[in-house]
Amino acid sequence: MNTSKVVLTSTMKAVRKLNCAILPKFLSQHAASEPPPQGNKTHFGFEVVDENEKTEKVHQVFESVASSYDKMNDAMSFGIHRIWKDIFIDRLGPVPGTRLLDVAGGTGDIAFRFLKYLKNTGNSDAHSESHVTISDINEHMLNVGKGRAQKLGYSDEQISWLLANAEELPIEDNSYTAYTIAFGIRNVTHMDRALAEAYRVLKPGGRFLCLEFSHVNNQVLQWLYDRYSFEVIPVMGQVIAGDWKSYEYLVESIRQFPNQEDFSKMIRSAGFRCVSYENLTFGVVAIHSGFKL
C-alpha cells in the first residue's frame, strides 16, 4: 500500500473514532432544529432577537464585511464558491432578452456572470436586449459592486442598482423574467415575505433561482463541516477581515436555515410551481428552483 493510501486510511479511522466520541454532543450543541422563537422574535444566528432588530443587525454585519467580502469567500470556500456560482448561472441558462433581478447581489458576482454568460452565447445583441438589476439592502455592498462593474467596463445600460429590502421591493408586479438570490435569503427577517415578493415581481413564466448553504446528509462530513465552520471560519474572519463576530453570525445563520425539503415547501407556499433543488458538494449548498406559472 502506498504512502497516500496509508495516510488516508489512518485519517478515516481517526475520524470515525473521534466521530463516535464527539459527534452526538457537538451536533446537540449546534442543532438547527431548535424550537422557533415565539411572538415577534426571530433568530440572528443562534441568538433570539426582536424581529425589528434583525434587519439592523444584518445590515451592520454586511457593512462590516463589505470591503473584504469577496476575499473571505475565496478563503472560506477555497475558491469553490466560484464554481457554485458558475453552475448556478448555467442552471439559469439565460437567453438574450432576459430581464434579471438579482437580490442581495451587491458585489455583483451573479450579475457579472449573467452578463458574461450572455456574451459567450455569441449573440452580438445579447447585451443590448438583456438587463440585470442588482438589489441589496446594504449601500456599502452596492458600492463595492459598482466599483467592480466600472473596472470590468459594464455600462448603466446593462446594469442598474437598487437599494431595497427583499421583503418590500419598490418594483411593479410582473416586471422580470428571472429572479436570483445567492447566499442572501437566510439573512432576511421574514423569508416568506421575500419569497412572496419574488413571486410578485416575476412575469408569468418567470423563474426563481436561489443558491444557498444547506444541509449535508452525511454525518461524518457534517461533523467535519461543523468543526471547520465553527472553529476555523471565525478565526479566518479575524485574521483576514479583522472581524470575528460577523463571521460567527454567518456560520450560525447557515445552521438555522431550513433543510432542502423544508425550504422547497416554503417556495411552493409562495405560489411557485415545478419546484426542485439540486445539491452541490454533498449538500453544503443547494440550488432551489421554481416557476411562476
Q: Is 52 annotated as a binding residue?
A: no
Instruction: Please give the pLDDT value at position 248.
Output: 85
More confident residue, 197 or 217: 197
156 in a known ligand binding site: no
Per the model's pLDDT, the better-predicted residue between 127 and 34 turns out to be: 127
pLDDT at 128: 61
As a whole number, mean pLDDT of residues 233-240 equals 86
Q: Give the pLDDT of residue 194.
A: 98
Out of 29-38, 137-146, 247-256, 265-274, least confident range: 29-38
Cα(144)–Cα(14) distance, integer angstroms = 44
Is 259 annotated to bind a ligand? Reply is: no
What is the C-alpha to C-alpha distance for residues 214 and 97, in angstroms, rounded to an integer? 31
Lowest mean pLDDT among 87-91, 154-158, 285-289: 154-158
pLDDT (tens digit per residue) in 37-56: 555 777 666 666 677 677 66
Q: What is the largest CA-CA distance in the chain?
A: 65
Cα–Cα distances in angstroms (integers) from residue 33 to residues 219, 260, 262, in the given order: 16, 13, 12
107 is in an annotated binding site: yes
Q: Please tell me the predicted confidence (pLDDT) of residue 47.
A: 65
Q: What sign does the dihedral 88-93-94-100 (CA atoms) show?
A: negative
Give 148: exposed, middle or buried? Use CB within 10 Å, 0-12, 13-18, 19+: middle
**Using one digit for the tens of pLDDT, what is the confidence trace for 109-137?**
999 999 999 999 876 555 567 999 999 99
pLDDT(5) > 80: no
More confident residue, 47 or 68: 68
| Position 181 pLDDT exceeds 70 | yes
C-alpha cell recorded at residue 138: 446594504
> Which sign does the torsion angle of CA 194, 281, 34, 72 carry?
negative
pLDDT averaged over the chain?
83
